[in-house]
Amino acid sequence: MMQKIRRFEDLVAWQKSRAFAAVIHRMTLEPQFARDFKLRDQIWDAALSISSNIAEGFERNRMREFHQFLSIAKSSCAEVRSQLYLAFDAGYIDEATLNATLRQAEEVGRVIGGLRRSIEAEIAKSKNLRTQDSGLRTDVR
């Protein structure tokens, strides 16, 4: 039986995305990277967006909206991965840093994807319950 999560802070996806954002932030503080204002700000904004969208979606208390926000968070994770390649191409990070950070980004994306699939299953389950003639009508939250 799955334990009910009451706070977004308890979500593994949020915890991993928070840790990932900290890695990206430290990376962008390196002097050469820090001088590229456009890329620095873009990658940092995308990294911030991951955990922020997980939190915002969770707090809306609607399954469908949470699913949508998880999709946005996963997309932001892909955006960071793309920008990591650009940072490597510009010489701001070395290949070892690129590979380690890409692995972390992929893990964050997998966890978000798993949570998103779980939410999809809950939505489908709720939809199936509503279509049965039980007399019970509930909103998918």
Label residue 94 exposed, middle or buried (CB < 10 Å: 0-12, 13-18, 19+): exposed
Number of domains within the chain:
1
Query: For 105-133, what is the mean pLDDT?
Result: 87
Give the CATH number, domain containing residue 62. Answer: 1.20.1440.60
- Residue 64 covered by a domain: yes
pLDDT of residue 134: 42
pLDDT of residue 3: 66
- Residue 130 covered by a domain: no
pLDDT value at 133 more than 80: no
What is the pLDDT confidence band of residue 127, given thresholds at 50, 70 and 90? confident
Structure confidence by residue, pLDDT tens digits, 32-80: 999 999 999 999 999 999 999 999 999 998 999 999 999 999 999 999 9
- Residue 41 covered by a domain: yes
- Residue 139 covered by a domain: no
pLDDT of residue 51: 98
Domain containing 74 equals 11-124
Report the C-alpha dihedral over residues 104, 107, 112, 117, rounded to 10 degrees: 170
